[in-house]
Amino acid sequence: MNEPDWNFWRDASWVLLREAVALSVSINPYALRIGQGATGKILLGIPEEIEEEFDRRLDLAHRSLGVKLPTLDGYDGAFSKIRLDEFLVWATALKWRLPNGLPRDIQRQPSTPGPKPTKLNMTKRKILDELTSGKRNVEQLKADTLDALVKEYGSSRNTASKARDKAIAQFQSLGEPNSE
């Protein structure tokens, strides 16, 4: 597996939660893909010898979002936008062993909250998390009526329809089998 481009990540204004966790175990975030496993959707590109540690870190980071680990978009899923410097401060406080290439010289800046998430983006991200976790698949989502989605996500029919279409498109771009 190729190493992350540490210079690129040092300059990134934000990262997704799953990208930050991947970097913390020296996985190139661009190597991660969504695939189909025997028990549902799985994240591909994680070497077997560190898969358990990756999963543990991702779970803990997810549980810390909005409490000990600020988000830029007010969302608390694997697709949350966070600042790498804040993630590194948090991970260091937990005494995580971090790769040598991970930039230690990032200057921590005061966190500024991002724009308030829209109902469309919040609904899209909820749907996307369900797709990536395997709780729902694209065929099920397409079969659901808009009324069911409205009831489940508490959004308008228009928002539910747009969110469903955007979530499916983004999910398929992540590498779902039989996608682009």
Using alpha carbons, select from 154, 146, 145 the residue that is nearest to residue 126. 154
Higher pLDDT, 147 or 4: 4
**Mean per-residue pLDDT, 108-137:** 68
* Mean pLDDT, rounded, of the chain: 77
Contact assessment for residue 41 and residue 131, using Cβ atoms and an 8 Å cutoff: yes
Q: Confidence band (pLDDT; 50, 70, 90) for 118?
A: confident
Q: What are the pLDDT digits (tens) for 135-180?
A: 778 888 787 877 887 787 777 888 888 888 888 887 777 654 333 3
Cα–Cα–Cα angle for 156, 161, 164, rounded to 5 degrees: 120
Q: Outline where the chain has alpha helix (H).
A: 6-11, 17-24, 48-64, 84-93, 119-133, 138-143, 146-153, 157-173
pTM: 0.61
pLDDT on residue 176: 42
Q: How far is it, in rounded angstroms, from Cα 170 to Cα 13? A: 21
Q: Break the chain into its structural domains and give their ranges.
A: 6-93, 119-173
Q: Is the dihedral of CA 149, 180, 14, 64 positive or negative?
A: positive
Report the Cα 106 to chain-centroid distance in Å.
22
Query: Can you give the pLDDT at residue 20?
Result: 92
